[in-house]
Amino acid sequence: MSEAIRAPRGTFDVLPEDAARRDALEGQARRILESAGYRRIETPAFEHTELFARGVGEATDIVQKEMYTFTDAGGRSLTLRPEGTAPVCRAYLEHGMHKLPQPVKLWYLSSFFRAEAPQRGRYRQFWQVGAEAIGSAQPEVDAELIVLLAELLAALGVRATLKISSLGTAETRAEYRDELTGYLRAREDQLSDEVRNRIDLNPMRAFDATDPSTRAVMAAAPKLLDRLSAEDAEHFAEVRGLLERTGIAYEIDPTLVRGLDYYTRTLFEFSSDALGAQSGVGGGGRYDRLMAQLGGPDTPACGWAAGVERMLLAAGERPVTSALVDLYVAVAEDRGVPAAFQLARDARRAGLSAQLELSRRALRRQLAYADRLGARYVAIVGESPEASRLKDMESGEQRELTPGDVIPAILRASRLS
């Protein structure tokens, strides 16, 4: 026998017992986002590589090391989507959504791909729920998005803390970047090799460093929040003011950095202690320059994404009620198969959930299996051509009924109970 093939490292199967919790999460996301006017969008699983190179940023870890990129038969470079914001912006431009009333509010639940080192809460194919509001620069957009993510996490039972910051505009960031680069260059000998090698590429990432010496340097480093222009500071103050009205607790973290280059102004992240090293449950921010970077007109926008697996991990085990089985159709003798087959189908058409015996087990084992499923009734078909036995699994009571009476009897009983 040849060796069995396993799923690639960092990927996982969603088994039926996991699917129930994921369905429940999807239901909550749909309820919360659609009641705020977000409409679902789905973009392709792969895009032109250039979309992410331009959109996410050449200097990011995502583009430099984590993309699954391949050349197709036509010689085009394609990439499995590592994130959803750039594709949604591409779709907005491609379909002329600027003609719709603004902002255009979109949500998605899709899978994404990053070649990261797998560990708990970090996979190579993972799912995100995301929301993007495109076409308004107003601070209420940012605050409302944050509130919606907080509501989703609360509905799932995820306890997470919120950190927010503001990056200002690209100009402020460029000036600040020069200042920070100068500061880091003057202290190169105290920095880790990794941070030193990336000073020019991405000096902000130094705030993420974990080694004590770099951290000491960064504690005293100039902060972007102190360099914001008056309008950006006002925008940030308005976002905070709206959050305060809702009573959502947050912490301002001037060193907050996220692994994507498109952010301007508001930046936020929810994290959970339940997750260990991969503490980020979800996050996002404003990205007012992205649309222009992708070749479109200047269009302000804001959004977030939250990891499905991380939300489920952080929510912990919660009992999920298993699907109800109203009727199990057992087959006493093989000659009863056609009638049983018909009964199961008729029961479903009458609105009942009905399962048919599919393995032709001994009747005793069929009843044990129906019991394990939690079936409310079992119809035993095939003992005689004229009658089926209907067993109430709660009371144990059994009745002989003509085949046509089985479904009405169940429906009548369920109306009475």
Q: Which residues bind ligand HAM (CB under 6 A)?
A: 83-85, 114, 116, 121-123, 126, 128, 130, 132, 258-260, 280-285, 287, 303-307, 309-310
Q: How far is the CB of 159 from ligand HAM (least distance, A)?
A: 15
Instruction: Pinpoint the alpha helices (H) of 274-319.
Output: 290-293, 308-315
Type of residue at 235: H
Q: How far is the CB of 86 from ligand HAM (least distance, A)?
A: 8
Q: Tokens 């000491």 belong to which residue? A: 216
Q: How far is the CB of 42 from ligand HAM (least distance, A)?
A: 15
Q: How far is the CB of 89 from ligand HAM (least distance, A)?
A: 9
Q: Cα separations (Å) of 258 from 61, 179, 283?
A: 11, 20, 8
Both tokens of 152, joined, read: 């989703």
Query: CA-CA distance, 180 to 332, in Å (whole number)?
Result: 79
Shortest CA distance to 266 belongs to which of 286, 247, 289?
A: 286
Query: CA-CA distance, 130 to 106, in Å (whole number)?
Result: 8
Q: Compare residues 290 and 378 and give the one whose CB is closer to ligand HAM.
A: 290
Query: CA-CA distance, 197 to 182, in Å (whole number)?
Result: 14
Q: Is 286 in contact with 301 (CB distance < 8 Å)?
A: yes
Query: CA-CA distance, 10 to 101, in Å (whole number)?
Result: 41
Residue 232: how many CB atoms within 10 A of its CB? 21
Q: How far is the CB of 33 from ligand HAM (least distance, A)?
A: 13
Query: CA-CA distance, 91 to 258, in Å (whole number)?
Result: 23
Type of residue at 120: R
Q: Compare residues 256 and 379 and give the one whose CB is closer to ligand HAM.
A: 256
Q: Compare residues 109 and 352 and give the one whose CB is closer to ligand HAM.
A: 109
Query: CA-CA distance, 127 to 309, in Å (whole number)?
Result: 7
Q: Compare residues 129 and 407 and give the one whose CB is closer to ligand HAM.
A: 129
Q: Tokens 């992205």 belong to which residue? A: 290
Q: How far is the CB of 124 from ligand HAM (least distance, A)?
A: 7
Query: CA-CA distance, 94 to 233, in Å (whole number)?
Result: 33
Q: Compare residues 135 and 285 and give the one whose CB is closer to ligand HAM.
A: 285
Q: How far is the CB of 298 from ligand HAM (least distance, A)?
A: 17
Q: How far is the CB of 368 from ligand HAM (least distance, A)?
A: 40
Q: Compare residues 121 and 336 and give the one whose CB is closer to ligand HAM.
A: 121
Q: How far is the CB of 287 from ligand HAM (least distance, A)?
A: 6
Stated length of the chain: 417
Is the CA virtual torsion 228, 60, 87, 81 positive or negative? negative
Q: Compare residues 88 and 406 and give the one whose CB is closer to ligand HAM.
A: 88
Q: Which residue is nearest to ligand HAM (CB)?
A: 307
Q: Compare residues 57 and 84 and give the one whose CB is closer to ligand HAM.
A: 84
Q: Compare residues 47 and 309 and give the one whose CB is closer to ligand HAM.
A: 309
Q: Is 343 in contact with 402 (CB distance < 8 Å)?
A: no
Q: How far is the CB of 83 from ligand HAM (least distance, A)?
A: 4
Element containing residue 29 per DSSP (H, E)? helix 16-34
Shortest CA distance to 167 belongs to which of 100, 68, 115, 236?
A: 236
Torsion of CA 59, 120, 86, 165, to 10 degrees: -70
Q: How far is the CB of 29 from ligand HAM (least distance, A)?
A: 13
Q: Compare residues 150 and 347 and give the one whose CB is closer to ligand HAM.
A: 150
Q: Compare residues 71 and 119 and give the one whose CB is closer to ligand HAM.
A: 119
